[in-house]
Amino acid sequence: MAGTIDREMGLDAVDDLEQLPILGRLHEWVITVDHKRLGLMYITGGLFFFLVAGLQAATIRLQLAVPNSGIVPPQVFNRLLTMHGTAMVFLVGMPILTGLFNYLVPLMIGARDLAFPRLNAFGFWLWFFGALLLYFSYIGGDGLYGAGSAPDVGWFAYAPLTELPFSRGNSTDYWILSILLTTVGSTATAANIVSSVFCMRCEGMTLTKMPVLVWLATVVSFMILVALPPLSAAQVMLLLDRFLGAHFFDTQAGGSAVLWQHFFWIFGHPEVYILVIPAFAFASEIIPVFSRKVIFGYSVMVAASCAIGFISMSVWAHHMFSVGMTPAGNSFFAASSMLVGVPTGIKIFNWLGTMWRGKLRFKVPMLFSIAFLFQFLVAGLTGIMLAVAPFDWQLTDTYFVVAHFHYVLVGAIVFMIFAAIYYWFPKATGRMLSERLGRWHFWLFVIGFHLTFDTEHFAGMQGMPRRIYTYQPGRGLETLNFVASIGALVQGIAVLIFVINVVRSLRSGEPAGDDPWDAWTLEWSTTSPPPEYNFATLPVVRSRRPLWDLKHPDDPDWRYE
């Protein structure tokens, strides 16, 4: 029948590599152009920097645990906050999400690889060396005396603090160059995913039959293509200022400080959605499978994501409500920012509709997805509060904002990254992660997360600004900060358990089989791990859930779509 998928894999092609000596195997990874290997390399690299930047966050919380603490001097603290923010966005969020898309998109569209495998490898290595360059600044800089001259200007690098008179030495140059490199890598990957989705889909997979994840990967890739160039342009302009004496942002010579902010947030706001839409994508795959129901309102879900993509391009100046725009300007950006809440709300309702009257199985990926729903709901609502421009005049640049965007970046994105890893780890490695350790990881992480970031909302309302290395006693901030720091410790323990879980499972995890979750998309039709070219014969599909059709020949999906 037409819905059949060929499950005869070219298993003889699987790894003679296991026989190679270690250097030979390493060499195979370095020269690989296979989308699955590159995906795993992105994810592994991202997780490595997640641990590094997480340790930096822990140091920040240690310093802020008590008032007037002197563990970390101010300049070291400023380096920590700069490196933590920069790394988490460019060296953790972007590569892990890129990596997951890299791994999953070809499998889900029934293709053998991405459209441009070597471009893919090129993008990875650009990212890799850009990432090394950022941390090399700790030991590079101005020769021996510049040791430890890591950037200390914040991940947003506001001019004119980044101009030569206020930022001597090369630390800011490291920031500029490493981010330039990593964003070129991301742009290459985005172009690759767009091309693959449009040109490499298997027979029968029309645009309206793609899994939601593939749709969202496409939306994100388009957003990357539009949003990253303004950042690169601004960085080149800043380099011109610093090395050739141009005056774009150099206020001492008549340049504009606000211009940098516009450039940065024209990139920076879509970037938030570039990071969070992948979380939506994972949720849209995981929640249906563990609810045993088809996703509710597929086309509205896709339309809402496209709407988010478009609207997100016109909201950047809500980061600049206090910069002194006209009342009309503030009103416009307040309106467009609130409007994003509508498609976002639609998505939350659709996930809820998917769970409604389903048969929920609370496996670890589902636990993370449920926590994501609650936390993203809170993040969305505090986002609406920040879109109310006058309220924002009080809240911006305080710990309320820190709490809000950590609800997005950790509560939504990191939670969904963990969900995705627990969900697809069996596919990529052939082994299950431990459910028991996974539950420990989940509960400790939820508790730690809320201890840290719930309290920070209130610290912000109590007048605590961001990016301060210390605060004075008697301001009503001691308890809140102490609790937040305890929470960071608990989160750290949770992540440690995750690392143990991964290492243990790689060595001796329970074998997974091809389709451990009883799922419906194409990646579960091939072996775990998939062979080098994914499918021995390319699949043919008739609906959005080809494996559902196989498993339920009496009531296939294509009758309803």
Partner 1 sequence: MLGRVHRWFFTIVIVATMPVAAFANDWGMGESNSKIPPSSIFDTVSTPAHEIRTLAFFTCSITAVIFLIVAGLLVISLIRDRARQGDNGREPPQVYGSNPIEFAWTTVPVLIVLVLFLTTARTIYSVQAPRRPPGAISVHVIGHQWWWEFHYPELGIVTANELHVPLSDPKNPTPTFLDLESVDVAHSFWVPRLAGKTDVIPNKKNTMWIDPHVAGTYLGQCAEFCGTEHAMMLLRVIVEPRADFDNWVAAQKQPAAVDASVAHGQQIFESTACVNCHAIQGTGANGRFGPDLTHLMARETIGAGVAMNNLDHLRVWVRDPSVMKPGALMPAMNLDDKDLDDLVAYLATLR
How would you label 379-409 residue by residue, b for 16+ Cβ within 10 Å and e otherwise? bbebbeebbebeebeebbbbbbbbbbbbbbb
Give the binding range for partner 1 (CB under 8 A) out of 10-18, 196-204, 461-469, 494-502. Answer: 461-469
Q: State the maximum Cα–Cα separation within the chain, in Å, rounded to a whole number.
A: 75
Closest distance of CB 524 from partner 1, Å: 16
8 A C-beta contact, residue 322 and residue 392: yes
Write out the binding residues for partner 1, residues 463-502 only, by CB under 8 A: 463, 465-477
Write out the binding residues for partner 1, residues 160-179 only, by CB under 8 A: 160-161, 165-166
- Asked whether position 550 contacts partner 1 by CB under 8 A, the answer is no
Q: Which residue, among 521, 533, 530, 559, has the nearest Cα to 5 in the 3D structure?
A: 521
Give the binding range for partner 1 (CB under 8 A) out of 50-58, 118-126, 153-161, 197-205. Answer: 153-161
Question: Alpha helix locations (H) across 18-147?
Answer: 22-31, 35-64, 74-86, 94-108, 117-136
- Asked whether position 208 contacts partner 1 by CB under 8 A, the answer is no
- Asked whether position 68 contacts partner 1 by CB under 8 A, the answer is yes
Closest distance of CB 197 from partner 1, Å: 23
- Asked whether position 126 contacts partner 1 by CB under 8 A, the answer is no
- Asked whether position 204 contacts partner 1 by CB under 8 A, the answer is no
Closest distance of CB 194 from partner 1, Å: 27
8 A C-beta contact, residue 265 and residue 320: yes
Give the binding range for partner 1 (CB under 8 A) out of 43-51, 53-61, 89-97, 150-158. Answer: 150-158
- Asked whether position 69 contacts partner 1 by CB under 8 A, the answer is yes
- Asked whether position 297 contacts partner 1 by CB under 8 A, the answer is yes
8 A C-beta contact, residue 519 and residue 547: yes
Rounded CA-CA distance 412/93 in Å is: 12
Write out the binding residues for partner 1, residues 313-332 only, by CB under 8 A: 322-324, 326-327, 330-331
Closest distance of CB 459 from partner 1, Å: 10
Write out the binding residues for partner 1, residues 346-405 only, by CB under 8 A: 346, 348-350, 352-353, 355-362, 370, 373-374, 377-378, 381-382, 384-385, 388-398
Q: For 438-484, give the DSSP string.
A: HHHHHHHHHHHHHHHHHHHHHHHHTT-BSS-S---TTSS-HHHHHHH
Rounded CA-CA distance 491/485 in Å is: 10
Residue closer to partner 1, measured from CB, 319 or 406: 319
- Asked whether position 310 contacts partner 1 by CB under 8 A, the answer is no
8 A C-beta contact, residue 558 and residue 38: no
Closest distance of CB 336 from partner 1, Å: 10
Rounded CA-CA distance 200/173 in Å is: 40
Residue closer to partner 1, measured from CB, 359 or 507: 359
The site for partner 1, by CB under 8 A, has a size of 104
Closest distance of CB 230 from partner 1, Å: 20
Residue closer to partner 1, measured from CB, 71 or 177: 71
Closest distance of CB 70 from partner 1, Å: 2
Residue 431 has phi, psi (to 5 degrees) of -130, 150
Write out the binding residues for partner 1, residues 238-257 only, by CB under 8 A: 251-252, 254-257
Residue 295 neighbours by CB under 8 Å, 6+ apart: 212, 284, 287, 288, 301, 350, 354
Residue closer to partner 1, measured from CB, 160 or 539: 160
Give the binding range for partner 1 (CB under 8 A) out of 186-194, 219-227, 297-305, 414-422. Answer: 297-305
Q: Which residue, among 141, 135, 15, has the nearest Cα to 82 in the 3D structure?
A: 135
511 dihedral zone (left: phi>0; alpha: psi -120 to 50; beta): beta
Among residues 170, 189, 291, 305, which is the contact residue for partner 1, using CB under 8 A?
291
Rounded CA-CA distance 340/318 in Å is: 12
- Asked whether position 342 contacts partner 1 by CB under 8 A, the answer is yes
Rounded CA-CA distance 45/274 in Å is: 19
Closest distance of CB 399 from partner 1, Å: 11
Residue closer to partner 1, measured from CB, 357 or 507: 357
Collapse the DSSP code of 159 into the 3-class scheme (helix H, G, I; strand E, B; otherwise coil) and give the result: coil
Closest distance of CB 440 from partner 1, Å: 20
Write out the binding residues for partner 1, residues 74-93 only, by CB under 8 A: 74-75, 78
Residue closer to partner 1, measured from CB, 159 or 495: 159
Q: Which residue, among 167, 184, 344, 347, has the nearest Cα to 239 in the 3D structure?
A: 167
